[in-house]
Structure 1
Amino acid sequence: MKVNKKGAVAIAALIAGSMLALAGCSGSGSSTPTNSGSGTLTVWVDADRARVLKDVAAQFKKDKGITVDLVVKDYGKIQQDFTAQVPTGKGPDLTIGGHDWTGGFVQDGVIAPVELGDKASDFEKVALQAVTYDGKTYGLPYAIENIAILRNTALADSTPATWDEMIAKGKAAGKKYPFLVGLDPQAADPYHLYPLQTSFGNSVFAQNSDGTYDASKLTIGDAAGQNFAKWVSSQGDKGTKVLNLNLSGDLAKEAFLAGESPYYLTGPWNVADAQAKGIKLAVDPIPSAGGKTAAPFAGVQTFFLSSKSKNALAATDFLVNYVATEKVQTALYKVGGRPPALTTAYQAAQSDPIVAGFGKVGENAVPMPSIPQMGSVWDDWGKTEAAIIKGADPTSSWTTMATNIQAKLK
């Protein structure tokens, strides 16, 4: 396996020189990871990641004499279980998760920074930005995901650059729907509609120069946000009806698989099922509705290090010198369908036009905010979008939403 020499030497020196001193340290009441040399690392993974990491764990055992216990978990339960178990000392040393969990994990004191060393420069910029919080790297990224336009090439030969042109071309295809996106009847889907929102120049929070978010500056209610709200209204029940709350995520997918629309706003997670249906696909940039570039959220799948790990040095070694390799990141990409976070693996994956398509759109993506304050945004945001689609006044609804979110932030 490819090993980063500087990182390996540094970690080996740390392990050799610090094991004795760290062995006597207690992890309770401290966010500083320690290492007791217990000889076992516990890693929470889902079934797909477990298959890839089985051989990696065996190699680590052979090289280091440390057993890696891969515990398969339901991904939907990992965040809550990790937060609950780490303070008790019963949690894992490492867990997979979404980068947007970072802020809450830091706030709860359940994760520790991961020292990537010179390996940090080996990752895609957006991946590194996503796992950076308060100037520290909290996690090792392994996959990047974002949405784009999935196009049925038999029904449309291209995706126009603007929303109106795409809808017109979609209607010309003569199918049931000119365009598809899955929406919840009560909560719409702010995640999927966000690139259209950014095309109006609106964001949720202001971003700092390093790409991190300023939780003290809520921007969602500004003039650009108001313009987006008016546009949503024009596409809803009192307008074109293109934004359809009766089409849930599952129903939108079914419609696309049935060939009922040339265009589907979705992520790489729906590619395999479409290909299995024999649909020839292309991945295209998201058209602009507001005149600016449509920038979707980037989600980064991450390995987090527990703040109570008794084998933090070994866990860091496992991540930096075994998981952060082209071979392993490529294998994780093949089972997950998401482009790798490691640049060499990411570039190699671009030979697949589907991956290249999502990657091109991802060049304009922005990391989903990982600050804890984001938890105060989603509910009002989604419910307001749904209300506007149903016909509520866009201006007053959006203003009330921003006021309510601001009150929760305080």
Structure 2
Amino acid sequence: MRRSIPVVAAALGLALTMTACSSGSSNEDDATPKPSAAATTSAPALSGTLTMWVDETRIDVMKPIVAEFQEQTGIKVDLVQKVSGDIRTDFVKQVPTGQGPDVVIGAHDWTGEFVNNGVVAPIELGDKAAGFASSAVQAFTYDGKLYGSPYAIENIALVRNNKLLPETKANSFDDLIAEGKTAKVKYPVVIQQGDAGDAYHLYPLQTSFDAPIFTQTADGSYTNELGLGGEKGEAFAKYLAKLGNEKVLLATLDGDKAKQAFLDGQTPYIVTGPWNTTAFKEAGMDISVLPVPSAGGSEAKPFVGVQGAFISSKSKNPLLANEFVTNFLTTEKVQTELYKAGGRLPALTASAEQVDDPVLKGFNEAGATGAPMPSIPEMGAMWAFWGTTEVQIISGQAKDPVKAWDKMVTNMQDAVDGTK
């Protein structure tokens, strides 16, 4: 079970104290040592090269941040772009061999796998932790230790094309579909799927049936007990089959096609994240962001994802890595710059309070009661069973949605038991 325990404040001053001492220059003939230029100016106190891995979805946001860090500190950063599908597994494989990076930028739900493989070092934010959204700190906390420095929070929501439909009165997802049809376009609403399915984008509908992937304790920590089995999960499976039969959900509509359908005015609604709304606004679209309506009667809760930085347990330059991850990345200035470049809500409260973008505020409100995506080790094995089964139900390949769902739950349970 993952347990989230408040971060214990700890001092990080030793490295800086040592650096300040080594950079001072005293005149042995003087009774009082004179401070060097490094002690009285902003000259670099640390030197060396830091290797950082970033995938293609984050590298453009990180480039100016890294350049600023190099200018301020004198620390050279070797920024390496990795393929999003490979970066996580490559990090796990290469760190034990000493070939991995010092820092990797990624999502909080990698934490459990990283910790269990011994490839990341715990970090200490000390008093700085109180300045972050509690969900962001909780997301990177595993067995009472913090392993990542958060910088952005994101979740999906319902995005509306105001030109096609100026208002939404729907109290349920079925009502939303009915309203969408009044726009008289190709699709009443789109939710991306594709050949492998997309359980992430369907999760708000699933949670509205009270069928979460894993159960949670009172403090929000995840257990390894599956929560999507039984009658509630089966009811969701039947609802997926219904949406598939009605052609509301289409297995052929992957992420790119769903995005393009919205851009082309073929649907008034899309369930998506802030990573797509920039393109919508650049296309001159007037959009609003709303919570996803309930399909099963309970609140529709999306996954909340937190972006951050991890330090390799085998880092050749732990002091430099710590300078970037816990001292530089946590500043209000940098968190605000990351928001402006990436369009995601800052994890730092002081920066988040400055956000006046109604679109981003809409996402924040839609995800206010969401939960961090599970970072427990068992989570990694869930996706393949989950998405594949859902898309089979949607497409009609699974003739009996309940039997298909129950089989999926059995396979998931076997996978959970195999990680114990």
> Which TM-score applies when normalising by structure 1?
0.87
Q: Is the 8 A contact 1:150 1:284 kept in 2?
A: yes
The residue type paired with residue 403 of structure 1 is T
Return the alpha-carbon distance in structure 1 between the equivalents of residues 386 and 179 of structure 2: 30
Deviations 1:111-169 (A, max 9, x none): 01111111111111221121111111110011111100111011112232311111111
SS in 2 for 1:96: strand
1:377 matched to 2:382? The reply is yes
Can you give the 5+ residue segments of structure 1 that lack an aligned partner in the other structure?
Answer: 1-6, 21-36, 62-66
Return the alpha-carbon distance in structure 2 between the equivalents of residues 277 and 18 of structure 1: 50
Query: How far is 1:75 from its partner?
Result: 4.5
SS in 2 for 1:236: helix
Count of residue correspondences: 378
Q: Is the 8 A contact 2:53 2:101 kept in 1?
A: yes
Matches within 5 A, 1:14-53: 15-16=16-17, 39-45=48-54, 46-53=59-66
Among candidates 392, 395, 404, match of residue 390 of structure 1: 395
Query: How far is 1:256 from its partner?
Result: 0.6
Return the alpha-carbon distance in structure 1 between the equivalents of residues 20 and 221 of structure 2: 35
Among candidates 224, 227, 251, match of residue 219 of structure 1: 227
1:304 is matched with 310
SS in 2 for 1:44: strand
Moved over 6 A (4+): 17-20
Among candidates 246, 267, 272, match of residue 278 of structure 2: 272
Return the alpha-carbon distance in structure 1 between the equivalents of residues 161 and 66 of structure 2: 34
2:12 is matched with 11
1:119 is matched with 128
In angstroms, what is the RMSD of aligned CA positions?
2.1
Deviations 1:72-110 (A, max 9, x none): 312513212222221122222211011111111111110
Q: Is the 8 A contact 1:206 1:219 kept in 2?
A: yes
Query: How far is 1:197 from its partner?
Result: 0.3
Matches within 5 A, 1:197-208: 197-208=206-217
Can you give the 5+ residue segments of structure 2 that lack an aligned partner in the other structure?
Answer: 1-8, 22-45
Q: Is the 8 A contact 1:161 1:288 kept in 2?
A: yes
1:55 matched to 2:62? The reply is no
Deviations 1:378-405 (A, max 9, x none): 1111111112112321211111111111
Q: What percentage of residue pairs aligned between the two structures are identical? A: 49
Return the alpha-carbon distance in structure 2 between the equivalents of residues 248 and 42 of structure 1: 34
The residue type paired with residue 383 of structure 1 is T
Q: Is the 8 A contact 1:60 1:318 kept in 2?
A: no
2:292 is matched with 286
The residue type paired with residue 60 of structure 2 is A
2:30 is matched with none
1:230 matched to 2:235? The reply is no
Query: How far is 1:332 from its partner?
Result: 1.0
Return the alpha-carbon distance in structure 2 between the equivalents of residues 316 and 243 of structure 1: 46
Deviations 1:161-208 (A, max 9, x none): 3111111110011111110111113x2210000000001111011112
The residue type paired with residue 358 of structure 1 is F
The residue type paired with residue 11 of structure 1 is L
1:140 matched to 2:141? The reply is no
Among candidates 353, 362, 371, match of residue 347 of structure 1: 353
Q: Is the 8 A contact 2:49 2:78 kept in 1?
A: no
Structure with bigger RCO (C-alpha 8 Å, 6+ apart): 1
Return the alpha-carbon distance in structure 2 between the equivalents of residues 344 and 198 of structure 1: 31
The residue type paired with residue 175 of structure 2 is E
Higher-Rg structure is: 2
Matches within 5 A, 1:326-345: 326-345=332-351
Among candidates 185, 188, 193, match of residue 183 of structure 1: 193
Return the alpha-carbon distance in structure 1 between the equivalents of residues 49 and 253 of structure 2: 47
> Which TM-score applies when normalising by structure 2?
0.85
Return the alpha-carbon distance in structure 1 between the equivalents of residues 90 and 64 of structure 2: 22
Return the alpha-carbon distance in structure 2 between the equivalents of residues 112 and 213 of structure 1: 22
Deviations 1:232-270 (A, max 9, x none): 111112xx2211112121111111100111100000111
1:195 matched to 2:204? The reply is yes
